[in-house]
Amino acid sequence: MLPFVGIATFLRAPYRPLSEAWQAEVGLLGVPFDITVGYRPGARFAPQAVRQASLRYALSPDGYYHPRSGWRLKGVQVVDAGDVDIPTLNYELAFERITHAARALRQHVQLPLYVGGDHSISYPLLLAYEDVPELHVVQLDAHLDFSNERDGTRYSNSSPFRRAVEALPNLKHITTIGLRGVRFDPEAVQAAQARGHTQVFREEWATLNPAEILPTGQRVYLSMDVDVLDPALLPATSSPEPDGLSFREAAQIIQWVAQHNTLVGVDLVELTPHLDPSGNSALVATRLLLEVMLSVFSP
């Protein structure tokens, strides 16, 4: 079926509500919550934009053929689990519903994919992983998102990982890759360093050995803020910073993390699709999700 025909679900996968009984390898959950952004809002539209863009990559039972690697994702069952029902303004109720939905999705699938939403949602999503021993987070992001508070709130998209480490004794380590810009919060940088977190600045990445930076043999939650990519490649994001990662660099990190660890969950956040009327940003973001799937389910 051509990409512009029919109903838009993620990769044309069947839609199954979380309240029903089903099992699959991959499940996508939309989290259209974006009221905490400090700059340009609109990530609430990302789940629908990713579904629309994903029609370009609709998955057949035979998967995808690549001349160098043969058939990939053959037989991988994907389900679109719809969106979390987000209440307007009430972030506490929104967070409760996000955590509840993430716990439910984990019961249905091996690999949950959460599409935000702004980055504040990583906190309620991580709360659904309180049972995972020795949880590691790999965060691809231009920004640290470890501020204690910003402009009087402790739950914005500047603070999800600070709140997460406070709430989750099992969250052992965070590796952040792609940091850059001019507006760092010194208290946040020091607090993350005091916990032993790994901070990789964009200009350092090319000279580093992934094996010495990234976790190995761990249960990893991968959080992908699309602003880690260069804004020339993906301009549709709330707070873009020049000199971001190339797509190949991001894909190589995803592949390395997935192939050396067990991915327990993946979020993709801060895609603000209407800031890129060409639709390319949503297409590139969708490709990041495909890179995750291809890395996890490679033969």
Smaller CB distance to Mn ion: residue 185 or 225? Answer: 225
Helix 46-54 / helix 280-296 crossing angle, nearest 10 deg: 70
119 binds Mn ion (CB under 5 A): yes
Distance CA 168, CA 184 (A): 25
- Taking CB under 5 A as the binding criterion, the range among 50-58, 96-104, 113-121, 186-194 that sits at the site for Mn ion is 113-121
- Taking CB under 5 A as the binding criterion, the range among 47-55, 60-68, 79-87, 114-122 that sits at the site for Mn ion is 114-122
Q: What is the dihedral of CA 57, 60, 61, 64, to 10 degrees?
A: -50
**Which one of 145, 185, 267, 291 is in contact with Mn ion (CB under 5 A)?**
145
- Taking CB under 5 A as the binding criterion, the range among 96-104, 208-216, 224-232, 284-292 that sits at the site for Mn ion is 224-232
Distance CA 190, CA 125 (A): 25
CB 271 within 8 A of CB 47: no
Distance CA 259, CA 296 (A): 7
**Residue ranges in 65-121 assigned as alpha helix (H):** 91-108
141 binds Mn ion (CB under 5 A): yes
Distance from the Cα of residue 140 to its chain's centroid? 8
Smaller CB distance to Mn ion: residue 37 or 264? Answer: 37
Instruction: Specify the length of the chain in residues.
Output: 299
241 binds Mn ion (CB under 5 A): no
CB 174 within 8 A of CB 161: yes
118 binds Mn ion (CB under 5 A): no
Smaller CB distance to Mn ion: residue 43 or 105? Answer: 43
DSSP-derived 3-state class of residue 79: strand
What x/- string results for residues 44 through 73 when contact with Mn ion is judged by CB under 5 A?
------------------------------
The count of residues interacting with Mn ion (CB under 5 A) is: 5
**Which one of 34, 83, 185, 225 is in contact with Mn ion (CB under 5 A)?**
225
- Minimum CB separation of residue 121 from Mn ion in Å reads 10
Residues that bind Mn ion (CB under 5 A): 119, 141, 143, 145, 225
